[in-house]
A and B are shown apart, each in its own frame.
Chain A
Amino acid sequence: MTDEERTYEQAAARIEAIIRRLDSGETGLRETLDLVREGRELVEFCASELEAVGRGLEELELDALIARLEGPNT
C-alpha cells in the first residue's frame, strides 16, 4: 500500500494491531523484526500526516482559489 492509498486511520489501526500482536508474545524473531519495521514505517506515515496539519493554519478563499486555478486558461 502506497502512502497515497493509505489513510491515517488505517495506519493507526494497523499500528494498534501490530502492538497487540507483539504484546501477545507469540511472535518469533523474524516476525517481530518485520512487524517492528512495518510499525516504524506506519508511525512515520502518521507523523507526516500529523505534521501536515500542524504546520499552521492556511486559509484560502474559494473564489480566489478558483480564480487562480482558472487564471492560466482564461
Chain B
Amino acid sequence: MAESEDRSLWAAAARAEEAAALGEIGAAGEPDASTHDAGDGRPQGIEGSDLPGPFPVGAYALRLREGLRQRPRVQLFGEVVNFRDGGRAKVYFELRDAGGALPCSAWRDDWEALRLGPGSVGDGARVVVGGGPDYYPGSATSSPAFTFLVRTLRVAGEGDLLAQLDRLRKLLDAEGLFAPQKRLPRPSLPRTIGVVCGRGGKARDDILAGLRRRGWAGRLIWAHAPVQDRHAAPRIGAALRELAALPEVEVVVVARGGGSLADLFAFCDETLCRTVAMLRVPVVASIGHHTDRTLLDDVAAVSCSTPTHAAEAAVPLHCGEARAALSGAAERLRGEGRRAVVDRARALAVMTRAPAEHVARHRRTLHQQVRELRASARRRAAEEQALGARRLLVVARKADAAVLEHQRGADAIREAAGGLRRAGPAGVERRSRDLERLALALAAHDPERTLERGYALVEGPGGELVTGAAAARAAGRVRLRFHDGRVAVRVAAQRGRRPPLTDDGQQTLALDDLPTSPLRTTRKPAPPTTRPGPAPAPAPAEEKGP
C-alpha cells in the first residue's frame, strides 16, 4: 500500500518536473521543438511517440535536481555501511536496512558542526539522519550522482548488523563449528602453504615478510579472490576448497588487510564459515586489524592480528633455530656414540691392566710387610735380649746367693759330719746289742720253733686256724701244718675203722682216735704235699710263721 502510494508520488513528481522543464524550455522560445528538425543540432523526436522532447540532458538534470531539492525534508533511520571520511569536502556512507538503502553524504561543514565523537559513527552504527534528496547533475567530464544530503545526524545505537553477527556467532558456536579446526594437527614445518588473499594487496607482502622471518622457503600456492564485495565469500570458499583438495597443501592462510566492518563482512558469511569448519587442513586467519573479529577468525584454527603473524603461525618452527638445534642434537648424538664406545674401551683397558697392577700392589704390600716384620723382629730381639740380660743378671745374682747358700750348707754338713764322726762308733755298738737281744726275744715267740719241736697247726680249708675238735668236725677237711710242710686230712667220725685213702693219696683221720694233746702227725705213705707247688724245702726257708 505504502509502496504504491510512493510510486504514484514519484510518478506525479516526474510529470510535474517534465512539465516544468517543458514550460521552461518552451519559454526559451522553442514551443514546437518536436516538429522542428535539428537545424541547431537538436535531433528529431521518436516517430510515433507522444512524449514531449527531446530535451538536452543537462537541462533535464538540472531540472531534476531542482525537483529533488523541492521535496520535503525528512528524517530517516538505518545502519551506516561503507562509511568514507576521506578528508574531502563531503563524507559519504550508505544507510541501509533490510528493505533497501540510500547513498548518503554530508558537507564537511555540516558534519563537523554535528560534533560527533571520533569513531562514534562508523560501519554498523545505527543512526537517524535528517535531510533530503539531492542530485549532482554531473557534466561532460564527470558522472552524476544521487545522494541523500544529510544535514543532521544522531547516533541511535549499535546496528542490527552487529546484532545479526552476534546471533550467527552464537549459532555456529552452539553447533560446535568453532572446534573442528582447532582439533586439527598443525605441522610445525609445512612444505606447502596455501594462501587466500586479494590480488595485489598489502597482505601478500606481509605474508612473505612473515615467512622470511621464519626462514621458511618452501612452496606457496596463491589463491587470489575478491575480499570485500558480495562475490567475495563464495569465491573465498571455493578457493579454500580447492586448496584443501591439493594433497600437498598442509596449511592455508586467509589474509586481508584492515577495513570497515562492511568491508570485512564477507568473512562473516555463514556458508564460508561452515566450509572452513569442515576443511581437512588447518586455516590460519588474519582478517582486518586486531580490533576486528570476524566469524572466520572464530572458526579458523588460529586467528592472528596481522598477515605477518599469520604466516609465522602457519610455520610455528623457526627454521634457522631448528637447523641450529638439529646440528646440536646431531653433535650430541655423535658424542654420545663415540663416548659410549671409547669410555668402555678405556674401562676394558683398565681392566686388562688390573691383574698386573693387583699383583704389583700385593707385591708392594708384601715387601712392606716383610720390612715391618724384620723391623718388628729386630725390635723384639732387642727387647728379648734386654729381658735376657735382666734375667741373666737375676740368675747370676741368684747363683751367687745359691753358691753362698751351698757353701753354708756344706759348712753345716761338714760340721754335722764331724759331729757324726765323733758320735758314730759308740752308737753302733749299742744299737747292735739291742738288736741282738730283740732277735732272741722274738725267736723265742716264733711258732715255727714250736713246730720244729714236733707240734702241728690245724688249718681249715680256707687256711684259717682250727683251734677245736668241734670246729675240725664241722670243717670235715683240714690241713695239718708241720715245720716242713702241710698235710691234708679228712675228719672221720667212726671209731675203729681205718681211714681210707683220699683221692690224692692222703689218709683220713678219725679225730676221735687222736689224742687231744699233744698233736701228733701220722706218717705219710705218699708224697707229702697235698697240692702242687714248690718242692718241700727246709721248713724255715719254705714257710715261715710270722
B191 within 8 A of A: yes
Check A39/B333 contact, CB under 8 A, given A53-B216, A62-B223, A62-B243. Answer: yes
Within 8 A of A (CB), among B303-337: 315, 317, 319, 322-323, 325-326, 329-330, 332-334, 336-337
On chain B, the residues within 8 Å of A72 by CB distance are: none
A52 within 8 A of B: yes
A-B contact count (CB 8 A): 111
User: From B344, which residue of chain A is reached at the shortest CB distance?
Assistant: A29
Q: Is the CB of A53 within 8 A of B337?
A: no
B405 within 8 A of A: no
User: From A59, which residue of chain B is reached at the shortest CB distance?
Assistant: B220
Name the contact of B218 in the complex, choosing from A15, A16, A58, A61 (C-beta under 8 A). A58
On chain B, the residues within 8 Å of A53 by CB distance are: 189-191, 216-218, 315, 319
- Report how many residues on chain A are interfacial, defined by Cβ distance under 8 Å: 36
On chain A, the residues within 8 Å of B319 by CB distance are: 50, 53-54
Q: Is the CB of A50 within 8 A of B322?
A: yes
- Most A Cβ at <10 Å: residue of B194, B330, B333: B333
Q: Report Cα–Cα, A57/B319, bound state, in Å.
A: 13
Q: Is the CB of A57 within 8 A of B217?
A: yes
Q: Measured between C-beta atoms, what is the minimum distance from B200 to chain A in Å?
A: 13
Check A29/B340 contact, CB under 8 A, given A36-B333, A65-B221, A65-B246. Answer: yes
Q: Is the CB of B188 within 8 A of A8?
A: yes
Check A43/B187 contact, CB under 8 A, given A36-B336, A57-B218. Answer: no
Q: Measured between C-beta atoms, what is the minimum distance from B218 to chain A in Å?
A: 4
Q: Is the CB of A58 within 8 A of B219?
A: yes
Q: Report Cα–Cα, A5/B170, bound state, in Å.
A: 38
Within 8 A of B (CB), among A22-72: 22, 27, 29, 32-33, 35-36, 39-40, 43, 46-47, 49-50, 52-63, 65-66
Q: Is the CB of B330 within 8 A of A66?
A: no
Q: Is the CB of A19 within 8 A of B329?
A: yes
Q: Is the CB of B317 within 8 A of A60?
A: no
Main secondary structure on chain A at its contact with chain B? helix
Q: Is the CB of A9 within 8 A of B187?
A: yes
Q: Is the CB of A43 within 8 A of B330?
A: yes
B103 within 8 A of A: no
Q: Measured between C-beta atoms, what is the minimum distance from A39 to chain B in Å?
A: 4
User: From A39, which residue of chain B is reached at the shortest CB distance?
Assistant: B333
Check A61/B222 contact, CB under 8 A, given A8-B187, A19-B329. Answer: yes
Q: Is the CB of A40 within 8 A of B333?
A: yes
On chain B, the residues within 8 Å of A58 by CB distance are: 218-220
On chain A, the residues within 8 Å of B341 by CB distance are: 29, 33
On chain A, the residues within 8 Å of B322 by CB distance are: 12, 46, 50
User: From B193, which residue of chain A is reached at the shortest CB distance?
Assistant: A53
Q: Report Cα–Cα, A7/B330, bound state, in Å.
A: 18
On chain A, the residues within 8 Å of B340 by CB distance are: 27, 29, 32-33, 36
Interface string of A1-25 (1 = CB under 8 A from B): 0000001110010011011001000
**B residues adjacent to A (C-beta < 8 A):** 185, 187-191, 194, 208, 211, 215-224, 239, 242-243, 246, 315, 317, 319, 322-323, 325-326, 329-330, 332-334, 336-337, 340-341, 344
A-B contacts, 6 listed (Cβ < 8 Å): A12-B188, A29-B344, A39-B329, A52-B191, A53-B190, A59-B222
Closest 10 A/B residue pairs (Cβ)? A36-B337, A53-B218, A62-B223, A32-B340, A8-B189, A39-B333, A58-B219, A9-B188, A57-B217, A43-B330
